[in-house]
Structure 1
């Protein structure tokens, strides 16, 4: 006899629809019972995977991409779950429901409904493992911040400044005992890696929904090396079981991104073949085409992998975004350019001004950036790991940058030549760059030019030019816009967060004068189009 359906939500465009069914609880339902559903609308069919949620309850989830009536039917090796039919009438999207973020215009991001996504990320790896009060404080801080993406781990994290036990574990506990974690004995627990703890995943889902409510994408780190519980050293079969369960539970959440790993190359137990297999498992299991990437420690992954949607990279020199664009033809997210803070580790003690500089340089070089904060306090509640409060100087300036970019071209900022020069990182092995045919070069700069540039420019040709000077401090700028076009000009102080008009109208060959100071930018906007 088939189970009856209990729908826990009304169906709406880009909102998670869920149906619950009662089924067998004996044995190990996580591995013994298979459940899937096919959702149908006309000729369109989408297959989703169901999952066991404990206490004899199974769930199937769906993320509608069109309005109107859909029907579905389940398939299962358990009779009570097989052949169950249902219907849902998908209403228009609710306010602020824009659907998953996906690549757009080659190097940028848009939501499924076409809304532009200017990705400004932050990092709080283990914030969902800290308990109610601190997690609520993290959400409150995020709601007031400019950040619309947060990098966060599914599994708990073991590292300096983060050695507390989580309140929940992802697997059923077997016993408490002594274990070895790469040669370092510790008092720990052993787990049954074939029996999940539904309460752990229910809590994670609640926090992902909380992020959606404040407009923040959850960039979920699926695996990571900072582990004393054994989650990073599961067998390939256990890894695949986990990945399929995770995707079955979360793929219908609109604000999820898949990050296969944080610093994948620090996980000695996983080979490149393992990573390629796991990328395929996640991509093939996700019917809703969420963004998918993998983050490196030292060695960048092969981001030309066809299932990888964007580059998620760790590099301090954010100007290399142009190099990565040329190499991979995908959106660039420099997800770890070091952290604003004061801890001993060199990656965690750059100044707020340096963080802001790296954001600006990365953006005008054609990428998107992710922030982190590591200021020490007595409770060792560092934002980069546990969340809590943002106390640094960079978030307000990043908000200023975000506003400028959002008010800029709808297509996004693309790197452009300026006065015939453009910065290319010497570390990338490129000494010269040929001038693109975007604007006419100045006299004497018609061909190959040295890449020893004083500043970088981004925007859209014939409309918008944003030139950032970084640590240089010129007192004047030769206007090098295309001939016979008129532009307004303003000076931007990236630290003081000011925009000062320089001229109502300038043309090619004019010279702008201003007080020299580091970390300024000039914005030229077309006025005669």
Structure 2
């Protein structure tokens, strides 16, 4: 057994050592393992490992030394089974080079898990003792405190769809940015340099570890807890089976660093901008030129292996959930075939290989609803986010794609130049608040933020606004997973763009200015209400009033004074007499 303390940042990472990452690693190497049992006939070695102690939601990693065979090792997986009482979890182990396979397991229940594993003619067994307390990391919580991890994200349906952590707490994804495969890829391959520039931005090119860790720390300090990492088939070799291990090991390190800090990462499996065969750093908008064509019924064995390997490698981190596809509908791509393949195969393979049943997203909304096993719908436009009464899936806005300026000006929210322009700060804040009041369980700051350039004040302000929003949402006296879009609460009020509520308990409304001081009219049931107007740029309470509604058996209309709103404001009305629901 190897239990070692690894520094928070690898060599070359950020110099600010706030906390350490604990790595639990077991090595099982045939006859050279810790304890050797007698091998039955036809089996090269049966090993029994010493018990390991891990915390709830912490990643346990078993390392197996295998043997050379004629098969491509990326098609061979360790088959591991973890058992606790009557619960059984099947986990695949992936090939990581040098005849080494790794099994990653992030337990969601405390107790003494007994496991067995098999790789060809090798077998082994062991015990993982999981404590009742969750994994904690020092210095990763609010204001540098201790962070208690919450486990994987699951989607639960209650007529509209909610996202919750393994510990039952609600999940809200405040996304700092997305990371392209080239960001964590190698600096060069076969003499080709990873230096792509688009629209004056290097958002889709190589970043050093130091650059990424510095941004990650900044995002966490601002209160953000989300990233999106694209695979785009880039780490996959042209044979559609082998993986570039230098490439995916960097992804491992970045995901582990996010996990340590409580940052949840959506991993995108397929998208139109996937790697073109024969070119290490180029995409193609012709799906037939991709390493794997997800928009066709061919290469099913390779696509199943791709999904299986990705889940085996990354699914053992408790901060990971999946985006099956970004932009299923795109000019020149066979949308109908993708939906058929996804319904019949892709989501089935995900479900079979993901032992935790984490959330699975897809873009766009109509396409997501066409795939039965997709549990999270991702809208493409988000200036207005309707929440139809028939929606039964959680919603996350993982990319801002609308125009911040007048249509045609080119000031699109995902562009690096837009987020760095101070006049567009309120555009991002408005889009994120609109997402929330319309029922979303997360939204993002800016997709194409270029980390190769120092962030200016405008970009930092956008990130800070989203962090303040997340903190306000998580401080509400009613958990946001109990709040639904409400079209009848606010009867009259200038600048009102949406309300999310639990009737009779809590109402959160968003207003966009400029609006002069005046009144708004709301409809409430009986109760003792505290009404607060909040400035979303600072979290400051602008004004507050209290209102007592006697029991009448009917809803009543109440007029509230409203302050002058220059840019935007949030109105929170809480029934202090109601039972707190978290």
Shift of 1:14: 1.1
Shift of 1:212: 1.0
Do the aligned partners of residues 204 and 32 (structure 1) sit closer, same or farther apart at CA in structure 2, a change above 3 Å counting?
Answer: closer
Q: Deviations over 1:370-407 (max 9, x none)?
A: 22437xxxxxxx52687974752322222222222111
Contact 1:122 1:147 in 2 (8 A): yes
Contact 1:208 1:218 in 2 (8 A): yes
- Corresponding residue for 1:357? 430
Do the aligned partners of residues 105 and 26 (structure 1) sit closer, same or farther apart at CA in structure 2, a change above 3 Å counting?
Answer: closer
Contact 1:9 1:18 in 2 (8 A): no
- Pair 1:85 & 2:125 matched: yes
Contact 2:468 2:537 in 1 (8 A): no
Determine helix, strand or coil for the equivalent of 2:541: strand
- Pair 1:336 & 2:399 matched: yes
| Further displaced range: 136-145 or 46-55 | 136-145
- Corresponding residue for 1:366? 439
Contact 1:102 1:109 in 2 (8 A): yes
- Pair 1:398 & 2:466 matched: yes
Q: Distance in 2 between matches of 1:387 and 1:204?
A: 21
Give the one of 229, 244, 250 matched to 1:152: 229
Shift of 1:515: 3.5
Give the one of 452, 461, 469 matched to 2:503: 461
Q: Distance in 2 between matches of 1:415 and 1:73?
A: 47
- Corresponding residue for 1:163? none
- Pair 1:515 & 2:563 matched: yes
Q: Deviations over 1:76-110 (max 9, x none)?
A: 4x21x2x3222222223222221101225743322
- Corresponding residue for 1:69? 112
Q: Distance in 1 between matches of 2:76 and 2:562?
A: 70
Shift of 1:460: 1.7
- Number of aligned positions between the proteins: 456
Do the aligned partners of residues 502 and 52 (structure 1) sit closer, same or farther apart at CA in structure 2, a change above 3 Å counting?
Answer: closer
Gaps of 5+ in 1: 157-168, 173-190, 375-381, 424-451
- Pair 1:51 & 2:105 matched: no
Do the aligned partners of residues 416 and 268 (structure 1) sit closer, same or farther apart at CA in structure 2, a change above 3 Å counting?
Answer: closer
Q: List aligned pairs for 1:259-408, cutoff 5 A.
A: 259-266=323-330, 268=333, 271-276=338-343, 277-296=345-364, 300-303=366-369, 305-320=371-386, 322-323=387-388, 326-338=389-401, 344=410, 346-347=412-413, 348=415, 349=418, 351-373=424-446, 382-383=448-449, 389=455, 391-392=458-459, 393-408=461-476
- Corresponding residue for 1:186? none
Do the aligned partners of residues 386 and 256 (structure 1) sit closer, same or farther apart at CA in structure 2, a change above 3 Å counting?
Answer: farther
- Corresponding residue for 1:246? 310
Do the aligned partners of residues 94 and 228 (structure 1) sit closer, same or farther apart at CA in structure 2, a change above 3 Å counting?
Answer: closer
| Further displaced range: 130-139 or 472-481 | 472-481
Shift of 1:521: 2.8
Q: Distance in 1 between matches of 2:535 and 2:228?
A: 29
Q: Distance in 2 between matches of 1:2 and 1:68?
A: 28
- Corresponding residue for 2:171? 117
Q: Deviations over 1:13-47 (max 9, x none)?
A: 21111211211124334356343122122222221
- Corresponding residue for 1:410? 479
Q: List aligned pairs for 1:453-492, cutoff 5 A.
A: 454-471=496-513, 473=515, 475-492=517-534
Do the aligned partners of residues 5 and 124 (structure 1) sit closer, same or farther apart at CA in structure 2, a change above 3 Å counting?
Answer: farther
| TM superposition score normalised by structure 1 | 0.77
- Corresponding residue for 2:553? none
Contact 2:49 2:126 in 1 (8 A): no
Do the aligned partners of residues 200 and 388 (structure 1) sit closer, same or farther apart at CA in structure 2, a change above 3 Å counting?
Answer: farther
- Corresponding residue for 2:235? 170
Contact 2:95 2:101 in 1 (8 A): yes
- Pair 1:502 & 2:551 matched: no
Q: Distance in 2 between matches of 1:335 and 1:384?
A: 17
Shift of 1:472: 6.4
Q: Distance in 1 between matches of 2:507 and 2:411?
A: 37
Do the aligned partners of residues 368 and 115 (structure 1) sit closer, same or farther apart at CA in structure 2, a change above 3 Å counting?
Answer: closer
Q: Distance in 2 between matches of 1:319 and 1:217?
A: 23
Give the one of 317, 320, 325 matched to 1:256: 320
Q: Distance in 1 between matches of 2:348 and 2:489?
A: 45
Gaps of 5+ in 2: 1-43, 137-147, 186-206, 278-282, 284-289, 293-298, 550-555
Q: Deviations over 1:248-287 (max 9, x none)?
A: 1122211101111222223727632233321221122111
| TM superposition score normalised by structure 2 | 0.71
User: RMSD of aligned C-alpha atoms?
Assistant: 3.2
Contact 1:5 1:86 in 2 (8 A): yes
- Pair 1:128 & 2:184 matched: yes
Q: Distance in 2 between matches of 1:205 and 1:319?
A: 34
Shift of 1:338: 2.4
Q: Distance in 1 between matches of 2:52 and 2:213?
A: 24
Q: Deviations over 1:197-228 (max 9, x none)?
A: 33322221111110011110011111222244
Q: Distance in 1 between matches of 2:514 and 2:305?
A: 53
Q: Distance in 2 between matches of 1:67 and 1:419?
A: 43
Q: Distance in 2 between matches of 1:140 and 1:420?
A: 39
